[in-house]
Structure 1
Amino acid sequence: MKAVILAGGLGTRIAEESDHRPKPMVEVGGRPLLWHIMKTYAHHGVNDFVICLGYKGYAVKEFFFNYHHHTADLEIDLKQGTHRVLNSQAEDWRVTLIDTGAETLTGGRLKRVAPYLGDETFCLTYGDGLADIDISSEIEFHRRHGKLATVAAVQPPGRFGVLNIDANHSVSSFEEKPSDEIGWINGGFFVLEPRVIDYITGDATSWEREPLQNLARDGQLAAFEHHGFWQPCDTLRDKRQLEQLWESGQARWRVWHG
């Protein structure tokens, strides 16, 4: 099975980082968000990736083009200009990097990579969200219900705590805003059938609008409810929070070993 990862957006809300690289290349624990997402999929046996490039796509290409050597011990003959790889820790992944255009919207990016997907069920997600989602269970859920599309439904944590104020204007208690006040939202991590491509008109189509709306209208969209960890990296605050979790050994999305 293949996993398509959308990695071409501008990332304007984290401009301090994305001015220099695409948002999926923002690092947590010394590795790009994109790598973390791919490790999650690989943990569930999905090792074939199609990455949709756009803004500063060359940075993603350079990362993967040099990845084998950067994860290896090398013996280099400076005079001869030759080298030998002594061993490499690179993962057993196949990575297809496709330039889907700087201005193309999410649906358009998916449509552009359709020729590389074949006729089988595939996964799709965004290149800036980390989760400990059980992808294997989601794929099984998708196959059971028989619809064209499955989306991981998540309940994001509230960003603001709630003050409970009594009649005397005193704060009687403080509590974190419960996630169930927000409701379920699109958390990415889709499982899709190739026919969903027919719901996409072209480059100007946002996957989150007409395609998903029409799939829902046609009774072809199911929700896989994820109750575990889920966190997008939209702002510097998000990045710092993810860094703290990684450094403290509490990165719940790290479902892989090693």
Structure 2
Amino acid sequence: MKAMILAAGLGTRMRPLTDHCPKPLLPVGGKPLIVHHLERLAAAGITDVVINVSYRAEQIIAALGDGSDFGVAIAWSREEMPLETGGGVLQALPQLGEAPFLLINGDIWCDLDPARLPRLQGDLAHLVLVDNPDHHPAGDFHLDDGGRVHAEGEPRLTFAGISLLAPTLLAGQAAGAFALAPLLRRAMTAGLVGGHHHRGGWVDVGTPERLDALDRRLRAERG
């Protein structure tokens, strides 16, 4: 299985930290945020990784190279302008192939073992969901007792920014910038989205304050 890390965003919520450094390279726990993803993927045996880049792309490419320092092989998907989640994935599909792939938001940290994710078995997507953080109390989706994900319903959980996707989820989409969420909601309506509740560590590293809190936590755990 291949993986894709979304790393093309402008990082506006992280300013002023991202004025001169792209968000994926911001240090946390002694290493760039994106390196945590690469090392976890390598440990799970997922070594073919596509990364989309736009804002300060050359800095990210220079820092990570071909990925060999981290036990992976990186293919780069360059975007002249950020294509949002859906558009970025669509552009990268030729590099990802025809099999289901793992998609990871570059601005999260999670201790999930990707090797433990289930196969899609006919679904278009499998979403990792987590408890609602304080900054997002309303959540995103409902996970029923059968492991199916719904756009409506209670209780609600937050999408962790980690998913298994079938390339056919994007079938018929035109190139350009568009969000992935509407396609996922359409697939939910068709009953083609599964998911599970991850109860381990997860952080949406969306602000300097949350980045600092995660950094202090990881350094404390390392002793």
Which TM-score band applies after superposition, normalised by the shorter structure? 0.7 to 0.9
Name the structure 2 match of 1:165.
none
Structure 1 vs Structure 2: percent identity of aligned residues? 28
8 Å contact 2:38–2:70 — kept in the other structure?
Answer: no
How high is the TM-score relative to the length of structure 1? 0.73
Name the structure 2 match of 1:146.
122
Q: 1:189 aligns with which of 159, 162, 171?
A: 162
Name the structure 1 match of 2:36.
36
Shift of 1:183: 3.1
Segments of 5+ residues of structure 1 without an aligned counterpart are 69-89, 161-180, 252-258
Name the structure 1 match of 2:187.
215
Map 1:4-43 → 2, pairs under 5 A: 4-43=4-43
Shift of 1:47: 1.2
Shift of 1:41: 1.7
3-state DSSP of counterpart to 2:70:
coil
The root-mean-square deviation of aligned C-alpha atoms, in Å, is 2.3
Segments of 5+ residues of structure 2 without an aligned counterpart are 137-153
Cα 1:224/1:200, change in 2 over 3 Å: farther
Q: 1:242 aligns with which of 214, 217, 220?
A: 214
Map 1:42-81 → 2, pairs under 5 A: 42-65=42-65
Name the structure 2 match of 1:157.
133
Q: Deviations over 1:84-141 (max 9, x none)?
A: xxxxxx2321001110232311100000001101121210010010111132222x2x
Distance of 1:101 and 1:218 partners within structure 2: 34
3-state DSSP of counterpart to 1:214:
helix
The number of aligned residues is 206
4+ residue runs of structure 1 moved beyond 6 angstroms?
none
Q: 1:132 aligns with which of 111, 116, 124?
A: 111
How high is the TM-score relative to the length of structure 2? 0.84
Distance of 2:204 and 2:185 partners within structure 1: 22
8 Å contact 2:2–2:96 — kept in the other structure?
Answer: yes
Amino acid aligned to 1:184: L
